[in-house]
Amino acid sequence: MSVSRSSDQHLSLSDRVVALVKSLRSEVPECLAAGVIDMTTGMLMAVETVDSHPPEVLDMLAAATADLFQGRNVVLIENIFKERRGVVSDKHYFQEILVNSDNLAHLFLRVASADDVVAVVVCRKNVNVGMLLAQARRVLKDHGVL
């Protein structure tokens, strides 16, 4: 994961991930929580939230994110789409997923510079979805990961 902000260039990967999460949390409208998940390890690399959550809930978020993007059926659908469209690539087809629950909007964005890393943003459901997408994409771009 590369970073384009000049002040972030000399930070460790861990510090860059924390900076990304802090930026998502502060710059995305109605944001209640943000995190970054490494789907190869199933690890939540960083998280910032307005509420405290038990560690097992956060671990389940990481596992669910991996299933959401790389579950057996999802990969099968991606491969069918790529085949039907004549796409020959190892790149994943699904890049962003928006999930609305009763009270929240959950946006999952695959990081372009690290295909198995996903940024997660959780907002109040009344968020303007266009602004949610635009701001989350902008923050990832500013950090050199989109």
| CATH code assigned at 43 | 3.30.450.30
Neighbours of 22 (CB within 10 A): 14
Q: What's the domain range around 17?
A: 6-142
What total number of domains does the chain contain? 1
Residue 120 domain-assigned (yes or no):
yes
Taking the C-alpha atoms of residue 5 and residue 11, their distance in angstroms, rounded to an integer, is: 11
**Can you give the pLDDT at residue 4?**
45
User: pLDDT of 40-96, one tens digit each?
Assistant: 888 899 999 988 877 788 888 888 999 999 899 999 999 999 899 998 888 888 899
Residue 71 domain-assigned (yes or no):
yes
Residue 1 domain-assigned (yes or no):
no
Taking the C-alpha atoms of residue 28 and residue 134, their distance in angstroms, rounded to an integer, is: 9
Residue 25 domain-assigned (yes or no):
yes
Within 13 Å of residue 113, how many CA atoms lie on the same side as its CB? 13
Among the listed residues 51, 58, 66, 12, the one whose alpha carbon sits nearest the alpha carbon of residue 35 = 58
Instruction: Answer yes or no: is pLDDT of 124 > 50.
Output: yes
Among the listed residues 111, 119, 96, the one whose alpha carbon sits nearest the alpha carbon of residue 144 = 111
